[in-house]
Amino acid sequence: MAKKRAEKVITTRQVRSGRPVRLDLTEADHKRMERLATERGLSKASYARMAVLKQMKADESEGSGK
């Protein structure tokens, strides 16, 4: 008797809303970031994103006064 073939499942590709950025840290900085992110209940990626965007906002407001 022939085996019944499983039906093919159509999957959808998740659309990314952003672009990836690589961040190389020393082991000590990585541990610091991991500790700080955990204290705030965030993943390391979320914490890094938050920190970068906060600094970008500060840099932009600093430059607008010139």
The counts of H helices and E strands in the chain are 2, 0
Give this prediction's pTM. 0.68
| Average pLDDT of span 5-23 | 83
Of residues 49, 32, 16, the one with CA closest to residue 57: 49
The phi-psi region of residue 41 (left if phi > 0; otherwise alpha if psi is between -120 and 50; otherwise beta) is: left
Residue-wise pLDDT tens digits, 20-61:
999 999 999 999 999 999 999 999 999 999 999 999 999 999
Ranges of each domain in the chain:
27-63
